[in-house]
Amino acid sequence: MAGRSFGERLTAAVSARGPLCVGIDPHPALLEAWGLPVDVSGLERFALTATEALAGTVAVLKPQSAFFEAYGAAGIAVLERVLAMARQAGALVLLDVKRGDIGSTMAAYTAAYLADDAPLAADAITVSPYLGFGSLEPALKQARSTGRGVFVLARTSNPEGGTVQCSRGADGVTVAQSVVDSVAECNRGAEPLGDVGVVVGATVKPGELRLDAVNGPVLAPGLGAQGATAEDLRRVFGEGVRAVLPSSSRDILRHGPTPEALRSAVEAARESLVSILPQMSSS
């Protein structure tokens, strides 16, 4: 992928379309709520309807790979179509795969999602640093060379995450803060924004992490169904974070199956964010 860096492309997309990432999560309960069968045909109808409705209006779409993988090869084929459709409509695709391994295995994951010729290549992916931040180097290197991005899990929105992420090392720094600091080092000096982001739930305690030096995007899941509101974003992230990218999935998707209703839900969510996150508002 020649041309601009991921940080440049994300900055431009958010400036044009506003600060919102929408998940494409074909959860069985959502398929049923849309009146669709919980099988590959229902998955296809759900995922393609949502993508077609939203890819032309949101900055970032975030398909959750697990919900496609659950249907085997046929589900992966649907995911490939989602990736292609989203790109054609101008949305950036953040593929939520949360991969994390070592050595040649991590390099293989990297080839699957970040190489230019990969069928599942996305604009960015989520990765887990909990085999050591250094284990992510194959993904970081590949992303730099192909103009893609990586979002590193730091402080996630699930309650169980704190057991590991809030633990402190011998230096007194939490595991989550050490991840944030490592990401900040990767992005040092990047303009207008680094290519390595962090994932920090919108439900975490205000002041729990120092994020002002990240110089990269902060993906903030938890908006809507997990209980976080637009006002919570102001409390958690304050004015010091340059690029908060709130993420909402079920709270948007539950308005389907009509494309008009999905787009209206996105517009309402986006309007609630513009006054909260002026640094990421549309121009």
| pLDDT tens-digit series, residues 149-186 | 999 999 998 889 989 999 999 999 999 999 999 999 99
Q: What's the rounded Cα separation, in Å, for the pair 15 and 7?
A: 12
Torsion angle of C-alpha atoms 173, 190, 136, 51, degrees rounded to 10? 110
Q: Are the C-beta atoms of 58 and 267 separated by less than 8 Å?
A: no
205 is catalytic: no
pLDDT score for 274: 73
The catalytic position among 62, 98, 141, 205 is 98
Torsion angle of C-alpha atoms 259, 265, 268, 273, degrees rounded to 10? -110
Distance of CA 50 to the CA centre of its chain: 16
Q: What's the rounded Cα separation, in Å, for the pair 100 and 110?
A: 10
Domains of the chain with bracketed CATH: 6-280 (3.20.20.70)
Q: What's the rounded Cα separation, in Å, for the pair 261 and 184?
A: 39
Which residue did the predictor score with more confidence, 282 or 195? 195
pLDDT score for 26: 97
**Mean pLDDT across the chain, nearest whole number?**
92
Size (the chain), residues:
283
Q: Are the C-beta atoms of 105 and 131 separated by less than 8 Å?
A: no
| Selection from 203, 183, 208, 179 nearest residue 193 by Cα | 183
Q: Are the C-beta atoms of 207 and 187 separated by less than 8 Å?
A: no
- Please give the full DSSP string across 168-221, using - where no structure is assigned: B-TTS-BHHHHHHHHHHHHTTT-SS--SEEEEE-TTSPTTSS--TT--S-EEE-
Give pTM, 2 decimals.
0.94
What single-letter amino acid sits at 12? A
Torsion angle of C-alpha atoms 21, 109, 194, 234, degrees rounded to 10? 30
pLDDT score for 147: 96
pLDDT beyond 80 at 62? yes
Distance of CA 246 to the CA centre of its chain: 9
Torsion angle of C-alpha atoms 11, 15, 16, 19, degrees rounded to 10? 90
At residue 133, the 3 state secondary structure works out as helix
First to last CA, the chain: 26
| pLDDT tens-digit series, residues 28-38 | 999 999 999 99
